[in-house]
Structure 1
Amino acid sequence: MSKSVLLYVCPTVPAEPWVKAFAESLPDVEIRVWPDIGNPAEVTYAFVWHPPSVLFTQLTSLRAVFSLGAGVDKLLANPELPRDVPLIRMVDPSLGADMAIFVAMQVLHYHRRMPEFAAFQRERLWRALDVPMAHERRVGILGYGEMGALCADRLRSFGFNVGIWSRRPRSDAGLRCFAGLEQLPAFLAETDILVCLLPLTPETRGILNAAAFAAMPRGSFLINVGRGPHVVENDLLAALDSGQIAHATLDVFVQEPLAQEHPFWAHERVTVTPHVGALTQPHTAAVMIADNIRRDLAGESLLNTVDHALGY
């Protein structure tokens, strides 16, 4: 049997740490780095992030495509992605732990009214502000998958009053649970700080719109670490300008990188971070990918596959 070949195709991510991690976890697999593909017909696995759109037309022997990130919406939007080849989303314990830290940091930032103190500093004002008890602050998590559960646990450890919204009914002791579009307005009405962790699907695209912002308490906060297209950007700008939304932390955007002329950059009520809420770590993620490749070579079912039709 010819040697399996894993092709690294992540133009925006330095390859060296990944090549080293793959070499340690997959000593019997040849690692190639795009654009040095060699013979495309020899490539059996592809590890990708923002790959060239025509890449997949060259790879005729693919057995699986691995995504560097948990989100695969941009891959699924590529018409050249082979629909008969398994697509594997990134599921790595370190990814979820990293996201929980990022979300907790942003929630605490808003809970302790840090944007207001930052404004006071710019004006050289020495002014104290009242802060509610953590259990009085209602934090809502939109999307209750693996990352949502980790974030909820972390926030509950601080004493926050945590609510969750999911597509299907969930029951979790200590959480306020909402499900389905019919319960979304009630969930939003009980949310002072909203954390979006949804996957991007046709049903969730544009879910954070004018109606959603109007349903939230005036002066509430938004943290979007899901996907950029969840937010209708002009609706958010209007809600921020009116004070309906007091401040927003945005880690993901419709267009990435965010265009230099975009109003989010200079808006005093927006914090922009460059899609860094959770960073995939090569030394842990490579182990997960290696396990799936071994499963495939042994004829076993693959883990964390994506339903091409559903998008998750």
Structure 2
Amino acid sequence: MPKQFENSDVNAANGERKSAEGLTRRQLVVGGAAVAGLTTAIASGTAQANTQKPPGPASTINPNGRFAGKVVLITGATSGIGEGTAYAFAREGAKVFFCGRRENLGRQVEARIKGFGGESTYMQADVRREEDVKAFVDGCVQKYGRLDIAFNNAGIVNPNLAKLHEQSAADFLDTLNTNTTGVFYSLKHEIPHMLRQRGGCIVNTASVSGHRGFTEIGPYSVSKHALLGLTKVASLEYAKDNIRITSISPGGVDTPMLRRVREQRGMSFEEGSKAIPIGRTNTVEEMARAVMFLASDDATAFHGSLVDVTSGILD
């Protein structure tokens, strides 16, 4: 039993009478609305979701959802985390403007969102090119009139698993140009719009590899370490301008990129999942929910936060 709960009966004996839900008067008073919400959840039997069977994506759109009327820009949303997050925001009423290099996939994602009643626009862009990024961000504002939330998600892992002395300079630079310089370009062109409208929220996709070194994916790890630094600097520079800038650091997430890396390492998808403390690989929907939390009004104190979404890999 965790230590913080071991002495609950002792506390009650010392004059902290427990409520029917097992919480002391002090806990109820100090916790305020949060505790009230918790007690309601306890009473209804839904206080704790099953981490082994996480909820899937919403099945219907809510035009009056949490992000109704908000304009959300996403880079790299033609697959993986970006794609799943585009669906999630659209189902909560947001207008989603997204990019990716592969036009055929982009059009498919756009069609799926419109198919369930969401608002979405795809624009082909390569985040390695500043002119593409500028056109993409400006295109979003021209179409929808503003930019409320940006999810800078586009990223790649080096195509060949190899030690540093075996990495090609071209692959190394391409990884940095996509994962780090691409986010710099995005910030550079997103922030002026948010300054004009006096506020906004930006979430960058980092990685567990930005906190630890992993063999044979050196360029990727280096790029994500740099991205965390970029997030910290940007958050400090614009905190007083009502622009919140944070990052998520996913661990293993069920995406085509992760499946390819595991295959290259000679392991099955299931074998790779066993190394994760909860015993399974995270879903893109779980990452989408983390992004949506950071983009919501519930996260107003999150500035420069490097949020670990690794299911225990970073302990």
Which one has a larger percent strand, Structure 1 or Structure 2?
1
> TM (normalized to structure 1)?
0.37
> TM (normalized to structure 2)?
0.37
